[in-house]
Amino acid sequence: MARTTGSNELYRLIHSLTVEEKGYFKKFATRHSSEGGKYLQLFDAINKQTVFEEKSLIKKFKSYAFMKVYLKETIVESMLLYYRHQNQQIDLLTQIQKVHFLLMKGMQDEALKILRKCIKETKRIEAFEMSRYLQRLQMNLLLKTVPDAQLYEQLAKDYENNMNDIGKLEDDLLQWEVRSLTILPSTKKADVFNTKSQDDLIQVINKTGSASQQSKILKQQVLYELYRSEMNQQNLMTAAEQYFFSVETFKRDFNSEYNDIPAINNYLYSLATYNRFKEVIAFCNKTLLQPRQNQNQYQQLLVRCIIFKTSALVHLGKFQEALEYTEQMEKSFHSAALTTKDTVRQNVFMLKKIIVLFLNKHYRETWLDIQNIQQKKALERLAVDFADLKMVELMTQFMLGNFDLVKAMAAKVRREFSKNKIQSTTYDMLLTFFSKTSPATYKQEAKKIFQQLNEYYTINKKFHRKAFAMIRYTYWLEEISGGRTMQQGLQEQFGGK
């Protein structure tokens, strides 16, 4: 979203607030400031904007520069009060503030009571660094009240034991963080592990203990990524479920700010891998309706759910519903992707939309979107996306009836593939079809390539290649040869799942 001069931080903050949060802020501002009405006017003016525009605000509000700083601070202060009993971290920090205030007023006994509760809470939510700080604060306070050497010695021993316990948990978490940072990037690369070395690594990870909930979550994430990288479908779904439910439990009971987006993404990916597309749609619908305190995480979740749900609708053969959904959610998707700076998934969405348009026979719109994405040079990262786009480009012109153009394009694409060292039996056979196609023979040629590709996949035990992981090329060939439609093929394959 473009902004018109100045920082748009206040605009983003106001527009991130829920209806309930805005209502609480307005009550807070009226109650805590004699000039609350003036700042509420600025709040309302920014809240009404659909795009940040500062010139009109400067013109309307005197001392605008000061007002926006004060308004931002007031919003933050009001939200800290709003969430003090709803967010574990904010509530804990509020209690620690009480401890320091009571110490300032000489009320040490009362401060120690709250401090002990804070220490207990830091252990429960695994806030190890904060636990160290509070243990040290408690030690310094108790030293002032110890009456004899024996109690002093016991106090020192308890302090040492507590710090050692925290240290062991921290060290264990650190080791799992290092393992995840070392292993996870490797699982994204092809041929890093051979099957035996990966199986050995999985055994080692399984046998390695985890001393805290956070360590357990990292262990489950590492196992999931290892199973995913070796395409171990026997264990993939179980690992995804264990990882996801552990994260959700920790987020619900211990740390509402814990980032569960990777676990959700992996869970959705696994459901899709097992062709459980109805569950993908149900999960996305339910999850997006649940309120979230962290708006950035909600934006990340929205981006992923839109992509997964669109793909699921296509796999179930619900082409029209997929088109309506992408059109309905496109603006929200790009806004969320821009906010979270997720350019990769912006490209993914554009590719999914191209397939949805094509499947709904909107060929001219498909062609325009293809040209748009090529102008942005958005596919330089992945050769397979570049290759799929070229195939869909050829398919689109074929469906528009431009056979001579298709032949010329096929020759050019073959040269581009050779230059970029893109090799694929599927692409090669499709290019052969496009180079020979004509109005009189395309049905026979399509049927021939369709049969050859099916035979190739069966003999070599290969997965059917799909355009942008959504639609089999063989389904398209089957449809244009006079056989089942793509929709019928998908509904027969996945309709009951």
Tell me what pLDDT residue 377 has: 60
Tell me what pLDDT residue 188 has: 62
- Tell me whether residue 495 is in a domain: yes
Tell me what pLDDT residue 2 has: 44
Number of Cα atoms under 13 Å in the Cβ half of residue 471: 33
d(CA 35, CA 142): 45
- Tell me whether residue 20 is in a domain: yes
- Tell me whether residue 132 is in a domain: no
Contacts 24+ apart (CB under 8 A), 69-75: 70/39, 71/10, 71/39, 71/42, 71/43, 72/9, 72/10, 72/13, 74/25, 74/28, 74/29, 74/32, 74/33, 74/39, 75/13, 75/14, 75/17, 75/25, 75/43
pLDDT tens, residue order, the chain (497 aa): 344 456 788 998 998 888 999 999 999 988 866 655 888 999 999 999 988 888 999 999 888 999 999 999 999 999 999 998 888 899 999 999 999 999 999 999 999 999 999 999 999 999 999 999 999 999 988 887 766 777 888 888 999 999 999 999 999 999 999 999 988 877 665 444 456 677 888 899 999 999 999 999 999 999 999 888 877 777 899 999 999 999 999 998 998 889 999 999 999 999 999 999 999 999 999 999 988 878 889 999 999 999 999 999 999 999 999 999 999 999 999 989 988 899 889 989 999 999 999 999 999 999 999 988 866 565 555 667 889 999 999 999 999 999 999 999 999 999 999 998 888 999 999 999 999 889 999 999 999 999 999 999 999 988 899 999 899 999 999 999 999 999 999 999 887 55
What's this model's pTM, rounded to 2 decimal places? 0.84
Q: Answer with the one of 82, 102, 132 that is the final residue of a domain.
A: 82
Q: Name the residue type at position 441.
A: T
- Tell me whether residue 52 is in a domain: yes
- Tell me whether residue 70 is in a domain: yes
- Tell me whether residue 250 is in a domain: no
Tell me what pLDDT residue 375 has: 62
d(CA 441, CA 170): 70
Q: Answer with the one of 82, 112, 141 that is the final residue of a domain.
A: 82
Tell me what pLDDT residue 256 has: 86
Tell me what pLDDT residue 257 has: 86
- Tell me whether residue 306 is in a domain: no
Contacts 24+ apart (CB under 8 A), 381-384: 381/344, 381/347, 383/420, 383/422
d(CA 426, CA 385): 14
Per the structure, the count of domains in the chain is: 2
Tell me what pLDDT residue 3 has: 45
Contacts of 351 (CB under 8 A, 6+ apart): 373, 385, 388, 389, 468
CA 384 to chain centre: 22
Residue 34 belongs to what domain range? 9-82
Alpha helices, H only, 144-212: 149-187, 195-207
Q: Answer with the one of 22, 47, 82 that is the final residue of a domain.
A: 82
Identify which of 324, 328, 334 has the alpha carbon closest to the alpha carbon of residue 1.
334
Tell me what pLDDT residue 193 has: 47
DSSP 53: B
